[in-house]
Structure 1
Amino acid sequence: MPNYIDSSIDGLNLYLMVRNNPISLQDSDGRAPDEDLLSKEGKRLAKRGLLTGKSSSPIGLTFDAVRVDSKIPMTEVRPYDSNDKDFRDKIITSSGTEVTSLESGTGQVGDYWDKHHLGSDVSLINVVNGEAL
């Protein structure tokens, strides 16, 4: 059985960060192979390259967020609002009809998602991390 701690980033277990739910099913101890976790819908997303939204637009989900960096040292989690200047350009939300393989600052990373779109009932949340000064 694979140990996903070994594939962590800087000791951070990414499965734990998303409550052991990478796309659709739960992995109670963080050791199940990705293939076993993916539902039929999830398998459509796997190994297709970068998936991100073309631009930020409202989605039908509510969630809480916090920004922790040297520019905006938030101390408390608060409800995400697309009009909140502290989250602008750091959390990008869009629907499945607005998917692309184009990442700002990086350029084109694959082309699958420019030709294939998901449904409008799919919500994307892209958390932008890292910033060069």
Structure 2
Amino acid sequence: MKQINLGMALAGFLLMSSNVYAESMPLTEQNIQGSWVLDYTKRSEKTLETLTREDTWIFKNGKVTITHIPRNGSYYDQLPVNYELSESTLNIAILGRAGRFDKFTLINKDDKNMTLKAKYGDIYQFTKK
């Protein structure tokens, strides 16, 4: 009887703690177009500590331009690079590294917000500008 109760409690916990994104929409060329302000990044989904960001990612005609990137007390803009969408993955070409991509997986997306997970688990939280 104890094993059944323990099993039910564990199953309930796992069900309650799983990430469910029922209202999320997929990444498409149409809904990613435009300017997205990167509000913050954090090490993982469970981490509470966030790193405030100031850059803007502009998706237009198959290219992404990252602007207003802080560095040493000033800001700079990255040249436009190609990006590719495949199902729930965003692949952004790495500047100067032919055939290499930064890979992001979609966690959540609606009309005004987008959350991406980077290749090594970092979370990127965007707001539509």
TM-score normalised over the length of structure 2: 0.26
Structure number with the higher strand fraction is 2
TM-score by length of 1: 0.26
Higher-RCO chain (CA-CA 8 Å, sequence separation at least 6) = 2
